[in-house]
Structure 1
Amino acid sequence: MEPVRTCVGCRARATRSSLLRVVSRNIVPQGQVLVVDETATLPGRGAWLHPSLECFHTAVTRRAFGRALRAEGTLDTTTLENRLNGTVNP
């Protein structure tokens, strides 16, 4: 049986394979940036999210990423939003 996780956006439970694991990385010029953990092996706390813009916007509105990741300050969500939109970073 596959592990079940909760989406930080809609709070619905789903199988781990249907969600994206998101972690916070401290990148010097930008500060703390949310990145997708493709292999679910990066160190640190992770937040799970449905790969949809609706869940993403709900999570941002609720400030769920900061709570789930126990992050201090603001998180740059641009990289994650671009990934969900299907756009490539410059």
Structure 2
Amino acid sequence: MSTPRHGKEVMVVEIGGEDTRPDNTYEMLVAVQKKVKAVPGKKGLGVIYWEPEGARSWSKYPLSAWGEDGRPTRALDAFLVK
């Protein structure tokens, strides 16, 4: 994260979690967002999930946030936490 010495803005991009473990991914995303929000000077800009809609059923991508039912998993609810 940013340090007072550098004073740079911080954004976490290309983050994701195992699509078969949405609860773990949810917890990880909440924790990362808290860290980003805690960057001094309000320099934590945000968190971007990489390819959340890339369901394994058609894309073979294991780090999506879509379930086998074709719907978003609980993992994406982490972006609703204030």
Q: Counting strand residues as a fraction of each chain, which structure ranks higher?
A: 1
Structure number with greater CO (CA < 8 Å, separation at least 6) is 2
Q: Counting helix residues as a fraction of each chain, which structure ranks higher?
A: 2
Which has the larger Rg?
Answer: 2
Taking structure 2 as the reference length, the TM-score comes to 0.32
Taking structure 1 as the reference length, the TM-score comes to 0.30
